[in-house]
Structure 1
Amino acid sequence: MQRERRRDPYPWTWEIPVGVALAGGFALVTGLQLGRSLANLLAGAGWTWPDPDAGQFTSPIGTAFWTSLPGVVTGDSSAGLAEQEASNGRLAGPSLTWGCLIVTELLVVVALGWLAIFVLLRWGPGRMRGMATSAEAERMLGVTRLRKVAGIVRPDLHGKHAGAAPATSLGGAGGRVQRTPGDPSLDAAEQPGPQLGRGLSPWLVAGRGTKEKR
């Protein structure tokens, strides 16, 4: 493609794989916390989230978000929660916690796989070049556009005069007269259909009529 040759491609160095790995790891960790919160919600304790003020080091989303991961994996649904939430006697047990963790992690893996396939097909090195996308093809050749331009594509079926009988134009001294074929006002020479003498000189027509009489 001309556009590809006019720009400098970005080199595939180590930054891109590391960024993809960090993003995938963060999605999996978030899935663990969501699974624990879902388990507590199903158990009747309400929606819970790690305490952002607890922990030894600062983090934009809270230190307990990271330090509570070992306890969450072992089935402790109170790990990293605030004291008021941790003392709730209706927190989920280990079985329910593990079940919700498995479900959320499977959903995260499926979403990451779908996103990876979409990115590779759209921007990857093996993408199809020079082809219109499905949305572009639908916009140009879809049913909506075909219905919009039906009067141009098939004027005989969808035009303003669709279904009207064709008219025959006859020239005269007074101008052009529009007549419909089969009109009784047309004489024999003007009626549509095959005519032997059309386009021939008068003497040829007269000679042919005499020969037919003989």
Structure 2
Amino acid sequence: MQRSRRVNPHPTTWEIPLATVVVVVLLFILGVHAGRAGANLIAGAGLQFPPREELFVSTFPVIRGDAGAGLVPRPDHVAGAAATLIWIGIVETLNLALILWASKIAWDQWGPSRVHGMATRAEAEKLLGRSRLRRNAAVIRPDLYGKRQR
């Protein structure tokens, strides 16, 4: 037990995965309403978002194609169901790309395959300088620049 505490002082708990799931679901819900707002803007109904009280309640009617659901006051002319669904699809695709990009960055930073204690090429250059790196290449990377055995 003592060894595992030294290796991993912070055990994995449920808070971080739950927060991640909540953020992803909220981003997709906001994406539905942003897609509806874009469709309504193009259709001439203006750029409107629902009030906070109607945000979650109006999500499923919007997905079914009702572009005026939850808007206060409801516009007279709203986008059609097809245009609303196309705009929601575009926004959600961009949303998914953003989530995947952020996940890749987080995985590289905190995932199990991250590199511990290694400087990047730019950090080594800044700290040591090019001439010192070349002069001490055999010490820094003996597998690549060590003395060749004959």
The two structures have a TM-score, normalised by structure 2, of: 0.74
Q: Which amino acid aligns with 1:127?
A: R
Structure 2 residue runs without a partner (length 5+): 132-150
Instruction: Give 1:123 shift.
Output: 1.4
Counting matched residue pairs gives 126
Q: Secondary structure at the match of 1:40?
A: helix
Q: Secondary structure at the match of 1:88?
A: coil
For residues 22 and 96 of structure 1, do their structure 2 counterparts lie closer, same or farther at Cα, with a shift above 3 Å needed?
same
Residue in 1 aligned with 2:109?
122
1:87 aligns with 2:75: yes
- Residues in 2 aligned to 1:116 and 1:80: alpha-carbon distance in whole angstroms: 32
1:99 paired residue among 59, 68, 86: 86
Residue in 2 aligned with 1:15?
15
Listed one character per residue, the Cα deviations across residues 108-161 of structure 1 (whole Å, up to 9, x for unaligned) are 111111111100101122201122246535x718xxx87xx9xxxxxxxxxxxx
- Residues in 1 aligned to 2:69 and 2:11: alpha-carbon distance in whole angstroms: 43
1:140 aligns with 2:130: no
Q: Secondary structure at the match of 1:99?
A: helix
For residues 136 and 45 of structure 1, do their structure 2 counterparts lie closer, same or farther at Cα, with a shift above 3 Å needed?
farther
RMSD: 2.4
Runs of 4+ in 1 over 4 A off after TM superposition: 5-8
| Structure with greater helix share of residues | 2
1:66 paired residue among 50, 56, 63: 56
For residues 66 and 8 of structure 1, do their structure 2 counterparts lie closer, same or farther at Cα, with a shift above 3 Å needed?
same
Percent same amino acid among aligned pairs? 37
- Residues in 2 aligned to 1:16 and 1:127: alpha-carbon distance in whole angstroms: 18
Instruction: Give 1:14 shift.
Output: 1.5
- Residues in 1 aligned to 2:121 and 2:38: alpha-carbon distance in whole angstroms: 37
Q: Secondary structure at the match of 1:66?
A: coil
**Larger relative contact order (CA 8 Å, sep ≥ 6):** 2
Q: Secondary structure at the match of 1:33?
A: helix
Q: After the TM superposition, which residues 1-214 of structure 1 pair with which residues of structure 2 at under 5 Å, given as runs?
A: 9-50=9-50, 52=51, 62-83=52-73, 86-89=74-77, 91-133=78-120, 136=123, 140=126
- Residues in 1 aligned to 2:121 and 2:61: alpha-carbon distance in whole angstroms: 47
Preserved CA contact (<8 Å) 2:54 2:70: yes
Q: Which amino acid aligns with 1:140?
A: K
Q: Which amino acid aligns with 1:79?
A: A
| Structure with greater strand share of residues | 1
Q: Which amino acid aligns with 2:95?
A: V
- Computing the radius of gyration from Cα coordinates, the structure with the larger value is 1
Structure 1 residue runs without a partner (length 5+): 53-61, 150-214
